[in-house]
């Protein structure tokens, strides 16, 4: 049974602007070490970070946890399985609350925009 869905769209130029303005302060607040390593290994670093940012936002919406609900950026980690399919790993309070649920994530991007769609299943 589906208990939540979330979607988010990020314009890549805006992510680039934030990274240029805030640098490591932004990167280290939002992304896990694994997410940063993954993005740094790719040609389109900013595009991969934008996709992970969108995924985190989509998951936050799908689990109905906004900033007042205790959502922390690093409690959602986006990785890829061996085939390249994106996966979500939860930490902290989100892991405690949603450990028995399954979270599906789909990411897509063009040259200018990334989109993430998350589904939480009971």
Percentage helix, strand, coil for the chain under 3-state DSSP, each rounded to 5: 45, 30, 25
pLDDT tens digits for range 2-43 = 999 999 999 999 999 999 999 999 999 999 999 999 999 999
Domain range for 80: 2-121
Number of domains in the chain: 1
Answer whether 55's CB lies under 8 Å from 118's CB.
yes
H-run or E-run covering 78: strand 76-80
Q: What percent of the chain has pLDDT over 90?
A: 89
Question: What is the CA 101 to chain-centroid distance, rounded?
Answer: 17
CATH number for the domain spanning 86: value is: 3.90.470.20
């Amino acid at each position: 049974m589906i208990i939540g869905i979330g979607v988010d769209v990020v314009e890549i130029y805006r992510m680039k602007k934030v990274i240029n303005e805030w640098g490591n302060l932004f990167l280290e607040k939002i992304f896990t070490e694994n997410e940063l390593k993954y993005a740094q290994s790719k040609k389109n670093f900013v595009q991969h970070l934008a996709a992970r940012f969108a995924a985190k936002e989509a998951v936050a919406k799908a689990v109905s946890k906004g900033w007042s609900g205790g959502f922390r950026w690093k409690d959602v980690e986006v990785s890829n399985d061996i085939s390249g399919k994106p996966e979500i790993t939860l930490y902290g309070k989100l892991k405690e609350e949603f450990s028995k649920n399954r979270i599906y994530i789909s990411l897509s991007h063009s040259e200018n925009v990334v989109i993430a769609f998350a589904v939480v299943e009971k």
